[in-house]
Amino acid sequence: MNFPQSGLYAITKTEHKTAEQIIADVSEAIKGGIKILQYRDKHPTDATYLAGALKELCHADNIPLLINDDIKLAKRIGADGVHIGKNDALLSHAREILGKKAMIGISCYNSVELALQAQKLSADYVAFGRFFPSSSKPLATAAQISSLQQAKTCINVPIVAIGGILPDNGAELLSAGADILAVIGGVFNSTPYQSTQAYQSLFK
């Protein structure tokens, strides 16, 4: 399994939901056409169970599952990789624990310099954002469209954009240089199948 070159990257929304609801939501999002899933859960009750269930669901459709921040959990359940931010474990440490084939993505916020550094250290993708106001990450650093344009000239791995992305504003990011759109609320705030379907025309 490889990291996708384009498409929708769904990130779980777990607040006030049972494990069964989260699994059902992800199942609908998979039917709707997501290309990759990240399990993000700031207050997990049984992360091993839920992440394991999501992995089985994703792998049944050949969709990679990444874990947000938690390298040990990724290793324990056999996830396809991790997404780490500037305050999380170093990329080289994640690579050492998870192996050469693991997909490792790095949050670069609004910094092309960070993205170049991540690329040099063998990151599988770099993520910029947030680009628009986001209920999931309201305090996240704002990113500029110009950063995507600049990154496109010097970054050779897939470029992910995140933060308040909806079907009606995603095209701007793709035309500026993003390959993949990462979405939390835009997929999981309402009906995941219909929500995911609404993004698909952006990638055609």
pLDDT of residue 201: 94
Model confidence band, residue 124 (pLDDT cutoffs 50, 70, 90)? very high
CB crowding 148-177: b at 16 or more within 10 Å, else e: beebeeebebbbbbbbbbebeebeebbebb
The mean per-residue pLDDT over the stretch 79-106 comes to 91
> Which residue type occupies 44?
P
| Gap between the Cα atoms of 44 and 181, Å rounded | 25
Mean pLDDT for the chain? 95
**Helix (H) / strand (E) containing 95:** helix 91-98
Whether the CB-CB separation of 137 and 109 falls below 8 Å is answered with no
Map out the domains of the chain with their CATH numbers.
7-203 (3.20.20.70)
Please state, in angstroms and as integers, the Cα–Cα distance from residue 114 to each residue in 93, 108, 123, following that order. 17, 6, 11
Rounded to two decimals, the pTM is 0.95
Please, are residues 114 and 108 in contact by the beta-carbon 8 Å criterion?
yes
